[in-house]
Amino acid sequence: MARILDGAAIAAAIKQEVAEEVRLLAAQGVRPGLAAVLVGSVAASEIYVRSKVQACADLGIYSDLITPPETVTTEEMLDLVAGLNARDEIDGILIQLPLPAHVNAKALLDAVAPAKDVDGFHPINSGRLMAGRPALAPCTPAGIIEILKRSGIPIAGRHAVVVGRSDIVGKPAAMLLLHQNATVTICHSKTRDLGEVTRQADILVAAIGRPGFITPDMVKPGATIIDVGMNRIADRAEFDRFFAGNAKREAAFAKRGSVVVGDVHPQAFELAEAYTPVPGGVGLLTIAMLMANTVRAAKMRRGL
């Protein structure tokens, strides 16, 4: 039977370590600080940002939640970011995406000082990551590495296949796996004979943003599957395609009218040696790694 990689337990361990680092920094008169910028009132973003602010409070990190109106302009947002770059008590700047269509998100992310870029999206941090130099790595890919390491899953010498080439997950995940001495293949929607490639994977990372995209015939028996996807489904026919006969999911669907499924078809997990569930897997590591990045930024900025 496949081993479930418990994202909640790993995230809790990382947060405990972060809290201890914060305590040690406090003894030196340093308190890490995170500024979270949330534009407008998108319900999902509000929930996510407030959970980040709560995590800061739980771990002793200073946080400043800034909520510009949806009508804010790119120029006003650039001024706001410049102000946060200049504030010494702010070690990390988080701009919650998505932004309103009229705001130039790329310009804003590029305007964040690389030393405070706790999301790891700035081109300078991307370049440092590629070069294997100290950098703030994107939180979800960094969480993937933590899951593998803390679960005792070997990376060096194994073939890792990453399905998805986004700048946020796919590319940095591939680079981090490469730095851990895996042999890495990056695939995407245009890859020919995709299943032939994924069936070679000892470690299969699914980050393509399509519900149940990785089917059982695309998985090598005994592989480790890391499912990064988080797709909400509310259509009954689609629900039955993934969860027919699953009493627990059926009850959740009846209660909420929707459930979440990853980028991997649930039946594919039956072939795995180990896998991350959805929910309860990679997603829980993202906030934990954001907290870790904030503390790391505080230390790096001060040469500690």
Averages of pLDDT over runs of 10 residues in the chain (304 residues) are 95 98 97 96 84 96 96 97 98 94 95 97 95 93 98 98 96 98 96 97 97 97 97 91 90 91 96 96 95 97 91
- The pLDDT, as a whole number, for residue 47 is 86
What pLDDT is attached to residue 279?
Answer: 92
Cis amide bond preceding 100, omega within 30: no
All residues at 6 or more sequence positions from 46 whose CB lies less than 8 Å from its CB, including other chains = 38
Residue with structure tokens 């990453």? Answer: 162
Quick check: is 220 catalytic? no
**119: annotated active-site residue:** yes
Catalytic one of 91, 96, 180, 263: 96
- Residue 160 β-bridge partners: 184, 203
Domains and CATH numbers, the chain: 30-113 (3.40.50.10860), 139-285 (3.40.50.720)
Per-residue pLDDT, 225: 98
Q: Per the residue annotation, which of 52, 171, 227, 263 is the catalytic one?
A: 52
User: Does residue 52 have an active-site annotation?
Assistant: yes
Please write the tens of the pLDDT for every residue from 122-135: 999 999 999 999 88
Catalytic residue (choose from 91, 116, 117, 119): 119
Instruction: Tell me if 67 sits within 8 A of 38, measured CB to CB.
Output: yes
